[in-house]
Amino acid sequence: MRKIYLVLSLFCCAILFLSNSSDSKFVSNLFLLGGESDPVLPEEAYDYAGIKLPEHLITRPYYGGTDTTIFDNLSNDAATLGRVLFYDELLSANENLSCATCHQQHLSFADESPFSEGVNEDTKRNSPQLNDLGWSNDVAFFWDMSHGKLEEMIALPLENPNEIGVTNLNTLLSKMEQTNYYPELFEKAYSNSEISLDKIQNALGHFIRSMVTFDSKWDQFQRTETSFTTEESNGMLLFASNCENCHFEGRRGLTIQSEYPNNIEQNKEIFSNEMIDENDIGAGSWSEEMKGLFKVPTLRNIEKTGPYMHDGRFETLREVIDHYSDDIGVSKWGIIPSGGYGFTEQEKDELEAFMLTLTDESFLTEVRWSDPFTQTVSNVELDEVLLSAEVFPNPSNGLTYINFENINQRQVMAYLMSMDGKIVRKLSTHKNGFVTDVSQLPVGMYMVKIMNGEGFIDKKLIVQK
């Protein structure tokens, strides 16, 4: 697992590349050359703290129970800082990687590969999605459930002496001190602009704890705001009688919030879906008895998080269902029957239809969890025309302009795209750029792709109401 520590440790091995110049224009030009720009943040922080555990979850037997105070300590300013840290590639050694490289919002903060590309090699396990971590399962992090507290887990790479020496940590901190934005963000969050490891962990914790998904079709159905099709209803029943022993209706696998890790060991049998992996002992890393066992993942947004399982072995949900139905050998733990459930094709369709009701589009597009950096991709050799491009106002709720200095009068084109790469609009030109009216578009994050013969540049655009 510990690739992630390695990955995180790159926070601390970066070379200080900014000069001591106090000329802020110089500094921001350097950012631009490094492929980074300052984050664009709202005047007043987005609302992270106002989360309420919805009634339909409180009242369900396996959900959060009656503890409704779990979000009380969230701070808007600390979460805002956490958001910037989560997306900031500047912090990594080669300035090409952030938490969001492997945890992408439009995929419910998972990614598309079985294993993710890290700094030197691929991760040993599939990048898990991140949602509801603060309330539904603040007891067992990583696929092998080896860590019991979110902030502790975020701290791991930073505490590891083999990876992070004090020198490296200092390098990271002084690099952050020299940005235009961190001192101010730390000041806002902690009434003190000093940057420290504790605060970095704490702020990332606030951000991740704020990521809750309460608005899937399943939630709407629970709130009686919508109805299920027959297929979805049948799927729900099948799920309840077969899968819920372990998956608890789409929620993570463990409810008991105390006595970690004893409560896990007492419930051993739910941590195997009878797959075999010769290369990974899973929770065997901390208990001989738990060998070969893995966390029961949440199935919320499961449509978006493939490939599936700790090693990304299944591409599609249908392959997962086929595994449970037809590919189980002799059941070792007894919950799933030997030989599998033997679903009919129709039952497989129904199960799949039910799982698709767990997708929460708002979670995948919500601006407060999105990338605040406006310019993240550029494969151009610093073409002057493209680099001069500006998108404003940003955020926008109406006419939006894309201007640039077209020195060499080459033809330039621009597209407005959704974050998953679909073209929403081809933009029309005005005299020194493009203009488009975004007032009718769904609120969220978009990409403006600007192209000329030299290459392209992508700029983020936030559409708000």
Question: Using CA atoms, how far apart are residues 195 and 188, in angstroms rounded to an integer?
Answer: 12
Q: Is 30 exposed, middle or buried (0-12, 13-18, 19+ CB in 10 A)?
A: middle
> Does 424 interact with ligand HEC (rule: CB under 6 A)?
no
> Does 438 interact with ligand HEC (rule: CB under 6 A)?
no
Tell me which residue of 29, 47, 46 sits closest to 38, measured CA to CA. Answer: 29
What x-and-dash track marks residues 221-250 binding ligand HEC by CB under 6 A? ---------------------xx-xxx---
Question: Using CA atoms, how far apart are residues 198 and 202, in angstroms rounded to an integer?
Answer: 6
| Tokens (6 digits) for 227 | 């109805």
| Tokens (6 digits) for 391 | 């998108």
Q: C-alpha distances in angstroms, 411 versus 227, 357, 373, 401?
A: 51, 45, 27, 17
What x-and-dash track marks residues 332-351 binding ligand HEC by CB under 6 A? ---xx----x---------x
Q: Which of 39, 64, 114, 118 binds ligand HEC (CB under 6 A)?
A: 118
Report yes or no: 56 and 64 within 8 Å, Cβ to Cβ. Answer: no
Q: Which of 143, 186, 369, 404 binds ligand HEC (CB under 6 A)?
A: 143
**What residue has token string 């700029």?**
459
Q: Which of 104, 116, 171, 394 binds ligand HEC (CB under 6 A)?
A: 116
Question: Using CA atoms, how far apart are residues 222 and 228, in angstroms rounded to an integer?
Answer: 10
Q: Which of 45, 75, 104, 125 binds ligand HEC (CB under 6 A)?
A: 125
Of the pair 116, 365, the CB lying nearest ligand HEC is at 116
Q: Which of 39, 64, 128, 444 binds ligand HEC (CB under 6 A)?
A: 128
> Does 271 interact with ligand HEC (rule: CB under 6 A)?
yes
With contacts defined by CB under 6 A, name the span among 35-43, 47-55, 283-291, 319-327 that binds ligand HEC.
Answer: 319-327
Of the pair 263, 397, the CB lying nearest ligand HEC is at 263
Q: Is 105 exposed, middle or buried (0-12, 13-18, 19+ CB in 10 A)?
A: buried
Q: Which of 51, 57, 189, 320 binds ligand HEC (CB under 6 A)?
A: 320
> Does 108 interact with ligand HEC (rule: CB under 6 A)?
no
Kindly give, in sequence order, each residue whose CB lies less than 8 Å from that of residue 57, ignoring residues fewer than 6 positions away: 63, 64, 214, 222
> Does 12 interact with ligand HEC (rule: CB under 6 A)?
no
Q: One-letter amino acid identity for 215? A: D
Q: How far is the CB of 100 from ligand HEC (least distance, A)?
A: 8
> Does 141 interact with ligand HEC (rule: CB under 6 A)?
yes
> Does 275 interact with ligand HEC (rule: CB under 6 A)?
yes
Backbone angles phi, psi at 441, to 5 degrees: -85, 150
Report yes or no: 278 and 229 within 8 Å, Cβ to Cβ. Answer: no
Of the pair 86, 404, the CB lying nearest ligand HEC is at 86
Question: Using CA atoms, how far apart are residues 457 and 14, in angstroms rounded to an integer?
Answer: 25
Question: Rule CB under 6 A: which residues touch ligand HEC?
Answer: 1, 4, 7-8, 97, 99, 101-103, 116, 118, 123, 125, 127-128, 130, 133, 141-143, 153-154, 204, 208, 242-243, 245-247, 270-273, 275, 294, 296-297, 299, 302, 305, 308-310, 320-321, 324, 335-336, 341, 351
